[in-house]
């Protein structure tokens, strides 16, 4: 006997009608010998196959079984049963794998300005920065008040006094040379002097012009050489002061 329910189609109904006309054992001629096969029904797939022997989970189809299957198939084909009630919602399945990161959305609008926060504590003193560049020179300030009178300085060296200019003359004949000394007054010293020819004559040469000291007296001396053919007069000056 076949137990359980099976899905039937029109093709299955026709197949069962054909099987009802045959025996459960089918003689088959193979290589000169006659063999019998069984009709086996797979309850899982609903397939009917001819085998030498059915498997343990398959059902052997005999004439009674085929008639029962044929009747059940016809009843199911004639009228379909009503729609069953909706089953309860099943439990949620497990969470799926993390999907790829989506693209960055557009930037939202600027939010309103927040309230001013409370003043934070005073920070530590920072390190001194490097010296800045030299600034431009400032304007000259006003003149300050006069300072106090300073102390009298030490006595300076004695100054000069009794300035005088002493002058003497000497006339040299043609082809002659000579010296002329001009002395300062007693107690005075020479600080400068010089000499010049009264008349500019060619071939008249000044050989020396220097100060001199003769004992306690000071003065200026000059020496000329007259290589001309005429007389020449020259003067000697001595600048003297009391020191």
pLDDT attached to residue 45: 83
Q: First vs last Cα of the chain: how many Å apart?
A: 172
Domain parsing of the chain, residue ranges: 10-77, 161-242
Q: What is the pLDDT of residues 7-57, one digit of tens each?
A: 444 444 445 544 544 444 445 444 445 557 788 888 888 788 888 888 888
Return the CATH number of the domain spanning residue range 161-242.
2.60.40
How long, in residues, is the chain?
A: 243
In degrees, rounded to 5, the angle at the alpha carbon of residue 26 between the alpha carbons of residues 22 and 27 is: 130
List the chain residues with pLDDT less than 70.
Answer: 1-35, 63, 67-81
- Dist. CA 112–CA 182, nearest whole Å: 112
Using alpha carbons, select from 55, 18, 60 the residue that is nearest to residue 39. Answer: 60
Using alpha carbons, select from 191, 139, 145 the residue that is nearest to residue 165. Answer: 191
Token code pair at residue 132: 């800045």
pLDDT attached to residue 59: 83
Token code pair at residue 151: 């102390």
Token code pair at residue 54: 């059915």
């Amino acid at each position: 006997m076949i137990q359980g329910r099976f899905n039937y189609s029109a093709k299955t109904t026709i197949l069962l009608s054909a099987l009802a006309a045959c025996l459960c054992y089918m003689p088959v001629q193979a290589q000169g010998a006659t063999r019998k096969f069984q009709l086996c029904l797979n309850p899982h797939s609903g397939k009917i196959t001819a085998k030498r022997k059915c498997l343990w989970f398959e059902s052997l189809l005999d004439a009674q079984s085929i008639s029962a299957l044929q009747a059940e198939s016809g009843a199911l084909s004639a009228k379909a049963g009503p729609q069953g009630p909706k089953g309860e919602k099943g439990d949620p399945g497990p969470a799926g794998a993390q999907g790829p990161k989506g693209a960055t959305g557009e930037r939202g609008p600027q939010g309103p300005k927040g309230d001013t926060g409370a003043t934070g504590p005073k920070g530590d003193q920072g390190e001194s920065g490097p010296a800045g560049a030299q600034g431009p020179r400032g304007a000259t300030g006003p003149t300050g008040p006069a300072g106090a009178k300073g102390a009298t300085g030490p006595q300076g060296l004695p100054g000069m006094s009794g300035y005088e200019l002493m002058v003497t003359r000497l006339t040299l004949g043609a082809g002659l040379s000579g010296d002329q000394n001009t002395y300062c007054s007693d107690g005075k010293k020479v600080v400068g002097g010089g000499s010049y020819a009264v008349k500019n004559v060619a071939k008249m040469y000044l050989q020396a012009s220097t100060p001199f000291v003769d004992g306690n007296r000071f003065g200026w001396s000059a020496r000329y050489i007259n290589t001309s053919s005429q007389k020449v007069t020259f003067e000697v000056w001595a600048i003297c002061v009391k020191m």
